[in-house]
């Protein structure tokens, strides 16, 4: 029997972590701290827990603040071993009843079951986020080429936050999530164990203005994903629109890729919008191929 908790602003932390860690063990994500707070995508908002025969079996998070376009966004996770038993359907029906019109819900991995459930509930495929992958050992990544008035340096904590956020806001004013990043959120990220300023590259012009950045990330090994090896990520590449067109984005990307490889990482991933043809063309030339697809469904 499936039972849903009441919606709450305070999650049943131990049971939710149990669901998320079980999903991570099989799917490789979400990345969950065994004892710390939930990942940032589950912060705030409303929480709903599903139990099946008394066992924590699924979890639904609804971000009521929404994305940069004002749409509420949900994350839904069903615990392995409880999938295809109606848990996801029960949580999705509760979401449809609760969420504001125009909401979106993520389906990570583009599973056929998620597509079938979405169709049954009248939710259409609204957005694709592609996960691209490259084998760093076999890729050819030349030295970055910069204009004479541009130099690269690394991020300095407590100095560069405002400059990076200003460029980020201009570069991603169209993006549902990234463009809304704040200085406070960036500083929160700096406190995470994975944060590495040596892998956070800034482009600076001859007037010492930040014109672009490449923020890399290294993920710890996860069983069953990427052969159980640590994996690098092209986390965010942002270029001020006023300086686009001179190859700065490619140069920043190369600097970060070469750094990740220098750390001994053999695999690198990145996330890119499925309809961003220009970015896809750049990444394909750098050796990236499609690995996974995340989908947002909505009304």
pLDDT tens readout for residues 200-211? 999 999 999 999
Tokens for 226, please give them.
Answer: 């990427």
The Cα–Cα gap between 238 and 236 comes to: 6
> How far out from the chain centre does Cα 52 lie?
29
223 confidence band (pLDDT: 50, 70, 90): low
Q: Which domains does the chain have, with CATH numbers?
A: 2-122 (3.40.630.30), 133-294 (3.40.630.30)
What is each CA distance from 278 to 194, 243, 284, in whole angstroms?
29, 16, 10
Per-residue pLDDT for 6 more than 80?
Answer: yes
The mean pLDDT of 273-298, rounded to a whole number, is 94
List helix spans (H) across the chain. Answer: 13-27, 87-98, 112-120, 161-171, 183-190, 248-262, 277-285
Burial (CB < 10 A; 0-12, 13-18, 19+), residue 101, is exposed
Q: Residue 224: its pLDDT value, please?
A: 63
Residue 235, pLDDT score: 97
Instruction: Point out the least confidently predicted range of 192-206, 238-252, 275-289.
Output: 238-252
| Residue 124 pLDDT grade (very low, low, confident, very high; cuts 50, 70, 90) | very high
Pairing of strands 104-108, 289-298: antiparallel
pLDDT digits (tens, 9 = 90+) for 67-120: 888 899 999 999 999 999 999 999 999 999 999 999 999 998 888 888 988 998
Nearest one of 298, 275, 269 to 106, comparing CA atoms:
298
Q: Which residues of 107-127 are buried (b: 16+ CB within 10 A; e: fewer)?
A: bbeeeeebeebbeeeebeeee
Instruction: Indicate the range of 13-17, 37-41, 62-66, 133-137 predicted with least confidence.
Output: 37-41
| Amino acid 269: pLDDT | 97
Tell how strand 73-78 and strand 104-108 pair up.
parallel
What's the angle, vertex CA 31, arms to CA 174 and CA 278, rounded to 5? 30
Annotated binding residues for acetyl-CoA: 76-78, 237-239, 244-250
What is the C-alpha separation between 214 and 120, in angstroms, rounded? 41
pTM beyond cutoff 0.85 = yes
Question: How far is CA 245 from each of CA 163, 234, 241, 249, 291, rounded to the nearest angstrom?
Answer: 21, 20, 9, 9, 28
Q: Annotated binding site, which residues?
A: 76-78, 177, 217, 233, 237-239, 244-250, 271
pLDDT (tens digit per residue) in 30-55: 888 888 788 888 999 999 999 999 99
């Amino acid at each position: 029997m499936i039972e849903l908790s009441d919606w709450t602003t305070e999650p049943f932390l131990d049971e939710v972590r149990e669901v998320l860690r079980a999903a991570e063990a099989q799917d490789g994500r979400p990345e969950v701290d065994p004892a710390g707070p939930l990942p940032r995508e589950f912060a705030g908002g409303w929480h709903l827990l599903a139990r099946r025969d008394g066992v924590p079996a699924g979890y639904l998070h609804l971000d009521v603040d929404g994305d940069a376009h004002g749409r509420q966004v949900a994350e839904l996770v069903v615990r392995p071993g409880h999938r295809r038993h109606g848990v996801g359907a029960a949580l999705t029906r509760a979401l449809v009843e609760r969420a504001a019109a125009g909401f979106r819900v993520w389906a990570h991995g583009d599973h056929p079951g998620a597509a079938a459930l979405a169709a049954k509930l009248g939710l259409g495929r609204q957005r694709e986020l592609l996960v691209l992958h490259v084998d760093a050992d076999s890729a050819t990544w030349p030295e970055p080429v910069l204009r004479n008035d541009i130099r690269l340096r690394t991020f300095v904590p407590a100095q560069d936050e405002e400059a990076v956020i200003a460029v980020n806001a201009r570069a991603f004013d169209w993006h549902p999530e990234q463009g809304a990043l704040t200085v406070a959120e960036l500083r929160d990220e700096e406190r995470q164990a994975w944060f590495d300023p040596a892998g956070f590259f800034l482009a600076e012009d001859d007037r010492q203005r930040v014109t672009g950045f490449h923020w890399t990330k290294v993920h710890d090994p996860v069983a069953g994903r990427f052969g159980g090896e640590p994996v690098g990520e092209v986390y965010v590449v942002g270029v001020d629109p006023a300086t686009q067109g001179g190859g700065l984005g490619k140069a920043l990307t190369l600097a970060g890729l070469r750094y990740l490889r220098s750390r001994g990482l053999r695999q690198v991933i990145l996330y890119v919008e499925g309809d961003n043809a220009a970015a896809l063309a750049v990444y394909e030339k750098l050796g990236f191929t499609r690995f996974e697809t995340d989908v947002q469904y909505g009304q």
